[in-house]
Amino acid sequence: MSPAIKTQNPAFVLRAVHDTVIEERTIPKLRNDRDVRVEIKQTGICGSDVHYWDHGRIGDFILTTPIVLGHESSGVVVEAGAAVKNVKVGDRVAIEPGIPCRHCDYCRSGLYNLCPDTVFAATPPHDGTLSRYYVVAADFCYPIPEHMDMEEGALVEPVSSAVNMVRTGDVRGGQTVVVFGCGPMGVLCQAICRAWGTKRVIGIDIVQSRLDFAASFSGGRKEDVFMTPKRPEGVDGMEWSEHVAKVIREQFDLGEGPEVVLEVTGAEPCIQAGVHLCKKGGTFVQAGMGVENVYFPISVACVRGLRIQGAIRYVTGCHPSAVDLISTGKIDVKKLITHRYKFEQSEEAFRKVKAREEGTLKVMIEGVQDDTKI
């Protein structure tokens, strides 16, 4: 039986910095016969969502008109275009929130994350998924098995991002990988590396609760986490980063260093330490984004012949891999969820993420319910 179509479409709208409202939006229509309309059931809050709410911009993407927030979502297909073949009405799906042009050289090569004309949910001027209904290209929806719930479906998106980070590092079985950052993306990268057969994965952070979580998440061990010591007053930052790298190598008996370093924090000291730590000929992946410019040890990268790679969003095959990792139990994403909110509490949920309180990992927002008060 097809899901009943509701007559209202409440949406969580960002009008300006710290200025949000839940307002009634027109129910979106299919744009072509390859689109589907999805009734959103769960949405996770990403740091980029909070950045727009808190700052109104990320790089060249600037909030100039109101947009609906949210892009980590799952839901149920309630309408499908005539040409749609991969999903049908009633299917439970995870949504890939960025639709590329499909025609440029990047898209044709499978690197559609680099497409300059991508329409990405909740990236100005495009609306996101925090509404009752969202229209998306059908081939960017991925059916999830019955034993996966909607929260797990929503978390397919961040797992997909982590899959791309690990794939960008060309991580292989038998390697040692060091991940700077034990927040949600960091621990997901660590879990994927273990699932894909690495010899050892080490997580680095400055918050004890995150290290404790990393040590227990999806095959982690207390022997494989490290708290970065605080830099003494008066010590040069680059010199201290080099010292930290040396301490990590010695404490974990890494010899010349790990084959791959994944930097997920965007913090300058971690970037510096990661480059100093990486083995000659190894791969350093920059996935975290902090301040726009940092003091980078470029001579070390050159002398050691490092492969420096940036990672952004996801490429061909990442979402199916993410569904597989979750559905087969290789990654228990439910353990990441620390807070849950109703749709009408969306503002409160964003404030919770912004507060960056110890013990806060993934914050989820339930979809619009029949009794939702707006």
For residues 220 and 94, membership in a common domain is answered with: no
For residues 357 and 249, membership in a common domain is answered with: no
pTM value surpassing 0.75 = yes
DSSP secondary structure, 203-241, as one string: EEES-HHHHHHHTTSTT--GGGEEEPPPPPTT--HHHHH
For residues 338 and 306, membership in a common domain is answered with: no
The amino acid present at 210, given as its one-letter code, is R
For residues 139 and 33, membership in a common domain is answered with: yes
The conformational region for residue 188 under phi > 0 = left, psi -120 to 50 = alpha, else beta, is alpha
- Asked if residue 373 is part of any domain, the answer here is no
pLDDT, position 374: 67
How far apart are alpha carbons 304 and 327 in whole angstroms? 40
Domains identified in the chain, total number: 2
Tens digit of pLDDT for each residue in 21-33? 999 999 999 999 9
Tell me which residue range forms the domain holding 111.
10-154+332-366
For residues 273 and 240, membership in a common domain is answered with: yes
For residues 167 and 199, membership in a common domain is answered with: yes
For residues 134 and 199, membership in a common domain is answered with: no
- Asked if residue 251 is part of any domain, the answer here is yes
- Judge whether 354 and 53 are in contact, CB under 8 Å: yes
Tens digit of pLDDT for each residue in 179-193? 999 999 999 999 999
Tens digit of pLDDT for each residue in 97-136? 999 999 999 999 999 999 999 999 999 999 999 999 999 9
Instruction: Tell me the CATH number at 212.
Output: 3.40.50.720
For residues 77 and 185, membership in a common domain is answered with: no
Pairing state between β 141-143 and 176-180? unpaired
